[in-house]
């Protein structure tokens, strides 16, 4: 059901998911979360300052939900209004349980001979451990723009400076809307801006943040084989197929 704040729909949750948590009322006596009729159905409305109220919801969910606790990152992501404007922020670990839309950035890295750099996600990653991914993929935090996230994540995941890469250019945009993995409440709603770049000869990725198990440099045939074997995350597969078509 929708999660509302003011005139905005900021998320979507399973009907009884939020019934499991107990929250203190606001200082004016209102309930922080309240069910109400909405467009022929029922919605949850969040009252008070959106960021402060979502923080309380996230903390309560962490106490009740092992999934949220495992995802907790102490990292704030922006919450978007219906017109695409920022209306608040929320802990990263709560976005998928609350169906809050996120932004991400990916980089498709090529060698000078056309082969594609990819990474294998670390086995201890909370999402898609051990699957293969683009050279870099990361979230756009509340403090970031897409451009600053591209620079930061490219260094943290691949140890590369964007200014050292060649032919850096936007590749496109992918939007995903799907339930999270089995056994976890919530939805993944994500807009991904992806870029492409060429790594000059002699320049190789080296992970800096411990979130990558290894890198590989694949020719087109091997990349297509691994894609067909479902070895890549859903978002990486969509991006790489789009990149190969150009």
Query: Do residues 17 and 131 share a domain?
Result: no
Query: Do residues 41 and 155 share a domain?
Result: no
- 110, 131, 141, 228 from 237: Cα distances, Å: 16, 11, 23, 9
Closest residue by Cα to residue 205 from 150, 141, 149, 162: 162
How many separate domains does the chain show?
Answer: 2
Query: Do residues 178 and 147 share a domain?
Result: yes
Query: Do residues 124 and 236 share a domain?
Result: yes
Task: Say yes or no to pLDDT of 201 above 80.
Answer: yes
Query: Do residues 108 and 82 share a domain?
Result: no
What average pLDDT does this structure show over 24-37?
A: 91
The angle subtended at Cα 213 by Cα 140 and Cα 145, nearest 5°, is 10
33-38 and 8-12 strand pairing = unpaired
pLDDT for 183 equals 60
Query: Do residues 129 and 231 share a domain?
Result: yes
Provide the residue range defining the domain that includes 6: 2-94
Residue ending a domain, among 49, 73, 94, is 94
Q: What is the CATH number of the domain that holds 129?
A: 3.90.79.10
pLDDT for 170 equals 98
Residue ending a domain, among 60, 94, 128, is 94
Query: Do residues 212 and 137 share a domain?
Result: yes
Residue ending a domain, among 62, 94, 126, is 94
How would residue 119 be classed by pLDDT, with cut points 50, 70 and 90?
very high
Query: Do residues 110 and 228 share a domain?
Result: yes
Query: Do residues 106 and 69 share a domain?
Result: no
For residue 93, report the phi and psi dihedrals to the nearest 5 degrees.
-65, -15
Query: Do residues 52 and 148 share a domain?
Result: no
User: Per-residue pLDDT tens for 64-108?
Assistant: 888 888 889 999 999 998 888 899 999 999 999 999 999 999 999
Task: Say yes or no to pLDDT of 109 above 90.
Answer: yes
Query: Do residues 129 and 25 share a domain?
Result: no
pLDDT for 154 equals 98
* Other beta carbons less than 10 A from residue 52's beta carbon: 11
Query: Do residues 73 and 193 share a domain?
Result: no
CA-CA distance, 71 to 124, in Å (whole number)?
Answer: 11
């Amino acid at each position: 059901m929708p999660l509302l704040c003011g005139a905005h729909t900021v998320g979507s949750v399973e009907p009884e998911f939020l019934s499991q948590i107990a929250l203190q009322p606001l200082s004016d006596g209102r309930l922080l979360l309240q069910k109400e009729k909405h467009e022929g159905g029922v919605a949850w409305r969040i009252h008070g300052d959106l960021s402060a109220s979502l923080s309380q919801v996230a903390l309560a969910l962490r106490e009740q939900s092992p999934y949220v606790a495992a995802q907790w990152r102490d990292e704030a992501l922006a919450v978007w209004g219906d017109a695409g404007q920022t209306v608040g922020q929320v802990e990263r670990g709560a976005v998928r349980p609350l169906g809050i839309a996120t932004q991400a950035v990916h980089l498709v890295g090529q060698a000078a001979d056309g082969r594609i750099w990819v990474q294998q996600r670390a086995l201890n990653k909370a999402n898609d451990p051990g699957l293969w991914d683009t050279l870099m993929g990361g979230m756009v935090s509340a403090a970031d723009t897409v451009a600053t996230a591209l620079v930061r994540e490219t260094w943290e995941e691949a140890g590369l400076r964007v200014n050292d890469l060649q032919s850096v250019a936007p590749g496109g945009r992918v939007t995903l809307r799907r339930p999270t993995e089995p056994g976890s409440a919530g939805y993944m709603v994500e807009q991904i801006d992806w870029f492409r770049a060429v790594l000059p000869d002699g320049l190789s990725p080296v992970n800096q943040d411990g979130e990558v198990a290894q890198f590989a440099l694949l020719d087109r045939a091997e990349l297509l084989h691994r894609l067909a074997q479902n070895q890549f995350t859903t978002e990486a597969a969509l991006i790489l197929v789009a990149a190969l078509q150009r």
